[in-house]
Structures are given as C-alpha cells and as structure tokens.
Structure 1
Amino acid sequence: MEIIDNSIVEPIEIRMIRPSNFPVRYKLPLNSPELTNLKSSIKEHGLLQPIVIRPLDHGFEIVAGHRRFTACKSMRWRFIPSKIRDLSDKQAYEIQLTENIQRKSMDPIEEAEAYQKYVNEYGWGGISDLGQKIGKSEEYVSHRMQLLKLPEDVREKLVCSNLSVSQALELTSVDSSLKSEFVDEIVNNKLTVKQIRVMKKKIKSESDLYKPIPNKNSKSLNLIKKTNLSLKITLSRIDDLIEDAHGINPKQRVEMIKFLMGLRLKTHSMIDETIHFKKKHLQ
C-alpha cells in the first residue's frame, strides 16, 4: 500500500519524543566521533533536515533521525524541527531502512540484521516484499542476510572495512573451522574474489578436509587441516605469480617461470607429505 505524505512540519519539544521501538541502527555513545562531528556540523550550520516522528499515546516516536535527535538533545535543545507523519510500525520501519540505505549510513552487518528482523523477527514480509519496499533486488537482500552466518571475528573485520562484502560472501560457504584461516589470508594479502574462489576450489577438491573430526585426535587433526590449508593457499598464490610472470621481460620470463614451477612442485610435495602424515599417525 502506498504511503501518502500528509505530514506536518513544526518544532516539537524534545521531552515529548522517544526513540523507536524498532531501531535499524546501533545506539552510539555520546562521545563517539560520529556524534561529535554531527554536533559540530549542527552548531555551525543548524539542523538542515528535520527528524521524522509519528504520534503515539503520550507523545511521539522517532521514525528517522535518531542520531540528529541525540546530538540536539545532548546540546540541550528544548525544541527540534520535526516532520510528523501518521505511520504504522511496519511503515515506520520501512522508512527508517530506506533513509539509511539512501544515506549509506549503515554498515553491512547493521543492514543484514535489519533485514533479518523485518523478515523473521517481525514477520512483515518475505525477502522479495522487503526488496520492493526499499528499492533493492531480492538477491541483494538475500546476500546481505547471508553475512549473518559469519562468525563474530569475521563480522568485525567487515564492519571495520578490512573485508569487503564480496569477499565476506565468499566465506559463507567455507567450512566453519577454516573461516579464520581464510579471512587472515584474504586481509593480509588483499585477495580478490577470483583468487578466493580458486583457493576454495582447490581446498574443496580434497574431500578429507571436510570430514567430521574424531574427538580422539581433534586438536592434532585441526592442526593438520590448518597446515594443509596454508599449503593450498601458497599453491594458489604461486599459480597467480606464474600467470603474472608471462607479462615480464622475455629474457627473464623463462627463468622466472622455471623457478616458480620448481616452488610449485615442492609445495605439492609438502601437501602430499601432510596427507601421508595424517593417514599414518592420526587415523
């Protein structure tokens, strides 16, 4: 159903306004850099855009503009310019989401959690319904929600922009015991999505890496898994270097490729030794 904008804009006393019961973003501490910068901007230029609120029993609830509201409240404003709209819980949530997406103000995990709440926790509609409301494709929404499958340490790297969304999505299909090893390699060596996929394919080809680990030798087997993964990663990187070597000076190309191929054979031999060690000592 289309939302008709019959809003009223006027100053509202701050004490009459409360935060939303359905927030789509995390609450920031008052001393956070984002709020500090926002307060400085408001002091210099004023509040350029009113917050959006809706009337409820005994006052109003914020629909959009939580950080603007917090900044103005911390500066002891008595009134704040407000756009008042009559909205349902679902409509208010959709407006919050749409505004934050347009502003690109949410990190990928905030965004994913907001989608998860809409679809699963609040039950307001499916992925397709949500995508239509916020102007995103069903695939976009689905991929964002997939990020919630990642462990906390990987999510933190994504939030801190040490990992891109595309890189993180590749990790969702990686065995949980290997995710940390993968993410360290990706971050430290700035691997592309193509390189990550090649790495995954090579590791997947050895099926015993994904077999259940018996409790008896679990620590030793985990160590062997990590060793094997490290060697496979090295092999993948050598293959990339061999490809790059085809573009160097012809006089040096032959020797360089010969050298790298030698390293590749040695790495293959080490992988074979690792598999042999596992079969002989840990099974």
Structure 2
Amino acid sequence: MAKATQKQALGRGLSALLKDPDNDIKSASDKNADKVVGNIVELDIDAIEVNPFQPRSNFNDEALQELASSIRELGVIQPITVRKIDFNQFQLVSGERRYRASKLVGLDTIPAYIRIANDQESLEMALVENIQRQDLDPIEIALSYQRLIDEINLTQEKLSDRVGKKRSTITNYLRLLRLDPIIQTGIRDGFLSMGHGRAIVNIEKKSDQIALYEKIVGQGLSVRDTEAAVKAYHNSKNGTTVPTTQKTIEVPKFAKKSQDILKEYLSTTIDIKSSEKGKGKITIPFGSKEELKRLQKLITGE
C-alpha cells in the first residue's frame, strides 16, 4: 500500500514538472526527459486528445459502462499510453476504452505512460499495440494490417516480423477486405465468423457473395457447410447460382404464416423448418448481447 501511494505521489510530481514551461520536454534528449518518458504520470484528462490513428471504431456501450463502474470502484489499474505533442498536450497511443470510461466517471486525471513520437511512429505504435488486443474483430485487425502496409510502407514480410504473426495469417486477414461491405459488417456484428468470411471470399462476384451470406444467416450454415457451398458454386455450370449443402425444404403454410408473424414482431430474420405433421425448429440469429437482450425481452417480457 505504501509503495502504491509513493508511486501516485511520484506521478503527481512528474505531472507538475510537465506543466512547468521552463522544463518543456520536446525530445528524449531534453533536460528531465528521462524522468518523464517511459514513466507513469498522472495527467489531466482534458490535456489528452483521442488518437486519430486508433484502429478500433466500435465501442460497446454496455462494456464501456461496466469498465466505468470498475474504474469508479478501483481506479484505473492499467495506465494508458500517450505521446507528448505540445506543451502539456498529449495524444492517446493506446487505452482509449480506459480513457473514455474515465471521462464517463468524471475523473480529472488518469495515469499514463508518456512517449515521444512523430505521427508515423504514433500510428505504428497505436496499430501494433492494438492488434495485440484480444477484443478486436477480424475486420478491425485486417484494416489495421492494411494501414500498416499503406501508411508505414511495410511489406507483408516486415509486417509479420513487426506484429509477431505468420505471413499466412496476415494474408488471411487482408483477404477479408475483398468481401462485400455488407458481409464485412456481418463479421463485425458477429453474424458469421472469420472462417465463414475466408470461404466466401473465394467467390469473386459480390452479389453472389451476398446471396451465400444470406443463406448462412438464414439457414445457420457452419463453416464446413459454407466451404462445401463455395465448392459447389465453382462446380456449377454457369457459376451464377449459390447451391448449399442443405436440401431446400418447403415450409408448410401454417409454419410460413407463423414465420411471417414472428419476423414482424421481433424485427429480425426468422428461420423455421417444419414437417407437415408440425414437428420442427425455429432459428433466431442475433449479432450482439444487446440484440439478444432485446429479443429476450420481447419473448419473455423480462
């Protein structure tokens, strides 16, 4: 406990040093730079701006509120990382969720590691550090890889060394960007997996990609089913239809009527498979925890 208090006091002392115009640190060779760069400093949260190079574009509101509650109780356990861009002005390199949650709680300061970097270095740091996170979706990772290639001028081989991933892994992510934007959104929203996307991308025509995507969501096709459907697509005579591994079963009229009613009531895709005798199953896909809770409330009232 004494060590934590000592560290916090040190952070506040370094914060005061950064606010002294006579000790403005602009490079790692400046006086007192060694006391600040690479150390944890308590920074005014209003002195920090969001990183325009941040690869994450989706922030789950519920998860952000949960993080805010944790910060309210325990404080910011893991410091954010910033770069100094001007006198007492900083820019996020990583930790935007912690930064956003801290602002929600109303914190005046936040612990931060300080680095000095130019725009290109900041972009690379932000992208590489964020790629290592476990909660980025496949499309966010693919976009980050593409930005490192385009804006940092890295080859896939150099990128492989920089992020510690096999070149084939990077290639598989990048290929997802050849999918129709509707399907990319489906992956980001959790309607299908990266494995589905890797199979669909082997279909060049975007309209046929979407046709298969709709079948995957509507019929609940597995990755293996999807791979088989893509193979059948390429084996078809004219290459314009998208057959699937499942036989098309005509939905009885009574089930079709119920399907239409449920679809309208729940405002989502409903798939019903039923025999004439009335035995069958209902599939209701969802793309997020929020969507599942919405459906649960409509169905159960809770």
TM-score when scaled to structure 2?
0.63
2:246 aligns to what?
237
Aligned partners of 2:37 and 2:113 also within 8 Å: no
**Do the aligned partners of residues 75 and 171 (structure 1) sit closer, same or farther apart at CA in structure 2, a change above 3 Å counting?**
same
Within the alignment, does 1:9 sit opposite 2:18 as a pair?
Answer: no
Instruction: State the distance in 2 between where 1:191 and 1:16 align.
Output: 49
1:157 aligns to what?
186
Within the alignment, does 1:203 sit opposite 2:233 as a pair?
Answer: yes
Q: Deviations for 1:144-189, whole angstroms, at most 9, x for unmatched residues?
A: 1111111222122211222110111111121322112211222333
2:294 aligns to what?
none
Give the 5 Å matches for 1:123-162.
123-162=152-191
1:26 aligns to what?
57
Instruction: State the distance in 2 between where 1:76 and 1:193 align.
Output: 45
Within the alignment, does 1:103 sit opposite 2:133 as a pair?
Answer: yes
Q: Output the amino acid matched with 2:50.
A: P
Aligned partner of residue 209 in structure 1, secondary structure: coil
**In the TM superposition, what is the alpha-carbon distance from 1:139 to its structure 2 partner?**
1.4
Instruction: Provide structure 2 residue ranges, at least 5 long, that are not aligned to the other structure.
Output: 1-35, 248-302
Instruction: Provide structure 1 residue ranges, at least 5 long, that are not aligned to the other structure.
Output: 211-224, 239-283
**In the TM superposition, what is the alpha-carbon distance from 1:191 to its structure 2 partner?**
2.8
Aligned partners of 1:97 and 1:134 also within 8 Å: no
2:255 aligns to what?
none
**Do the aligned partners of residues 141 and 89 (structure 1) sit closer, same or farther apart at CA in structure 2, a change above 3 Å counting?**
farther
Give the structure with the higher percent helix.
1
83, 86, 109: which one aligns with 1:79: 109
1:182 aligns to what?
212
Aligned partners of 1:94 and 1:134 also within 8 Å: no
Aligned partners of 1:53 and 1:83 also within 8 Å: yes
Aligned partners of 1:39 and 1:71 also within 8 Å: yes
Aligned partner of residue 103 in structure 1, secondary structure: coil
Aligned-residue CA RMSD in angstroms? Answer: 2.2
Instruction: State the distance in 1 between where 2:131 and 2:152 align.
Output: 21
1:57 aligns to what?
86
Aligned partners of 2:82 and 2:91 also within 8 Å: yes
Aligned partners of 2:131 and 2:144 also within 8 Å: no
Instruction: State the distance in 1 between where 2:38 and 2:75 align.
Output: 22
Aligned partner of residue 202 in structure 2, secondary structure: coil
Instruction: State the distance in 1 between where 2:136 and 2:176 align.
Output: 14
TM-score when scaled to structure 1?
0.67
**Do the aligned partners of residues 11 and 71 (structure 1) sit closer, same or farther apart at CA in structure 2, a change above 3 Å counting?**
same
Instruction: State the distance in 1 between where 2:178 and 2:136 align.
Output: 18
**In the TM superposition, what is the alpha-carbon distance from 1:205 to its structure 2 partner?**
2.0
Aligned partners of 2:216 and 2:226 also within 8 Å: yes
Q: Detail structure 1 runs of 4+ shifted over 6 Å in the superposition.
A: none
**In the TM superposition, what is the alpha-carbon distance from 1:27 to its structure 2 partner?**
5.8
Q: How many matched pairs?
A: 210
Within the alignment, does 1:44 sit opposite 2:73 as a pair?
Answer: yes
Instruction: State the distance in 2 between where 1:11 and 1:72 align.
Output: 13
**Do the aligned partners of residues 73 and 97 (structure 1) sit closer, same or farther apart at CA in structure 2, a change above 3 Å counting?**
same
2:20 aligns to what?
none
Aligned partner of residue 11 in structure 1, secondary structure: strand
**Do the aligned partners of residues 151 and 82 (structure 1) sit closer, same or farther apart at CA in structure 2, a change above 3 Å counting?**
same
2:14 aligns to what?
none
